[in-house]
Amino acid sequence: MSRDPEEVNKLTESTYKNVMEQFNPGLRNLVNLGKSYEKSVAAMTLAGKLYFDAVSKIGENAAVSPVSRELGVVLMEISEVHKKIHLELEESFKRFHKEIIGELERKTEMDVKYMTATFKRYQTEHKLKQDSLERSQSDLKKLRRKSQGKNSTKYESKENECMETITSRQIDIQKFIADGCREALLEEKRRFCFLVDKHCTLSYQISAFHDKAKEILAVKLPSWQDKCCDATKVPDSVISMIEGMRTPVSMTPQPSPLMERYNRKNLDMVVPPPAPPLKAQTSPLANMFTQDTPKTAIMAERISDHSEENNLPRSVSVSTGLNMVKRPKVETIFPHTAGNNETLLSFDEGDIITLLIPEEKDGWLYGQLEKSRQRGWFPSSYCRPYTEPVVKSSVSTPVRSLSVANLADQEQAAVVLPPPDYSDMSSMSSSSKSSTPSPENTKTQPNGISKPPFLGGGNPFATVKLRPTVTNDRSAPVI
């Protein structure tokens, strides 16, 4: 198919313009988008790494459980495999940047300069050839006008020479246009081939990445799926543990650590350092005090405490005995200095000593000074039994000593009772109505004091939170 040289020239120029005005700007845009693509993949791989790190953490928690240990291991394996796949993806995009984005950016900058210079050279040479052809054609026209006269034979040879020049120049310009068009089209094709080749390389890299990822996942995926196919499956070790729990096993309770510490403390208190080898010195002023010996007084006090404890009700004696052990005490009547002997106890007159070992050994007693908490041996003749002052409690006051106003206050305080948790408020109103004494139920005592009816099984102060004191004397008032 033959075309006019002018059309071919236009095709050549449009090809150069297409490369410079569309292809190269498109490559610049492609480079920018490729960089954005790299950033998005880097962000995706980072987010994937964080995500699968979280999956691994959950797997570590599951691995602690006896029933979910295998699933926890599976989660950790999934995390490691996917992080490895993301690492391969990062490597692929490093090659993508080096072999494609970097090459495109470098080629684009070079190609703009090259194509601009090539197109300008083509236009310049084409213009020169076109101008020379036009000059030859103009010369031919002038010779033909001159040869129309009498001297036609004179210009004939010149006209033939001009015709040959025009023909050669036409052939030359046509060849130049053809070669220029071919070169322009090849330049365009080389650029598209370069672009296609680079993206074929990218496709090979992505294909290799997916093949490797598929290979890694295909090896692990069936075993992972087997671990989670049955949620009701329990390991044999857990089944044996549960079955063992169903079988009753006799167990001996271990002693309380508090009791063990209490016993150890008592042992520390009971085992004193050895008593002094010499017999204790008797104070020359000891006979001035009319008193029993400390040992006799101590034993008498212990017997008295024992009898009082037996007279107490069971609830009081048991609770008191569990909470404390009452030890005898003595009061010093002379000061005593231990000197350099660390096993002896120094004290002043009037100090209180708790006896840790009540038995006297060669005139020595072993105890603990209350004010300094120091322990040691001391002469028994330097002290006398100490009796704690009796503190009268308001609980032991007879009922008849209470005034009518106090009884009325206690009666009013006993009327309003808080309702139990999550109960209807109507129960509170009904209980308050039933607990209010009526005039018919109020009894008058011989001394004129009105006494409220007994509530709670004969106790007149059942609603007042007072701890009762019970004695063996049945004539004593009940509180």
CB 8 within 8 A of CB 176: no
CB neighbour class for 353 (10 Å; exposed up to 12, middle 13-18, buried from 19): buried
pTM for the structure as a whole: 0.45
Q: What is the pLDDT of residue 248?
A: 66
Residue predicted with more confidence, 2 or 395: 2
Report, as an integer, the average pLDDT of 148-167.
76
Residue 206 scores a pLDDT above 60: yes
> 34 or 308: whose pLDDT is higher?
34
pLDDT band at 464 (very low <50, low <70, confident <90, very high): very low
**Which tokens sit at 137?**
């054609």
What pLDDT was estimated at residue 150?
Answer: 62
Position 465 pLDDT exceeds 90: no
**What's the pLDDT score for residue 240?**
83
Q: What are the residues whose beta carbons fall under 8 Å from the beta carbon of 94, sequence distance 6 or more?
A: none
Report residue 22 as tokens: 């569309």
Please give the pLDDT value at position 81.
93
pLDDT of residue 352: 92
Per-residue confidence band for 396, with pLDDT thresholds at 50, 70 and 90? very low
Average pLDDT of the chain? 74
**How do residues 422-448 score in pLDDT, each as one tens digit?**
344 444 444 444 444 444 444 444 444
Q: What span, in angstroms and rounded, lies between the C-alpha atoms of 33 and 42? A: 14
**pLDDT bucket at 239, cuts 50 / 70 / 90:** confident
Report the pLDDT value the prediction gives residue 39, as an integer from 0 to 100: 92
Of 33-42, 56-65, 316-325, the one with minimum mean pLDDT is 316-325
**pLDDT recorded at residue 36:** 93
Taking residues 85-93, what's their average pLDDT?
Answer: 89
Mean pLDDT of 96-121: 88
Does position 147 have pLDDT exceeding 80, yes or no? no
* 397-422 confidence digits (pLDDT tens): 444 444 444 444 544 444 454 554 43
SS3 assignment for 276-317: CCCCCCCCCCHHHCCCCCHHHHHHHHHHHHHHHHHHCCHHHH
Per-residue pLDDT, averaged over 49-67, amounts to 91
- Is the pLDDT at 57 greater than 80, yes or no? yes
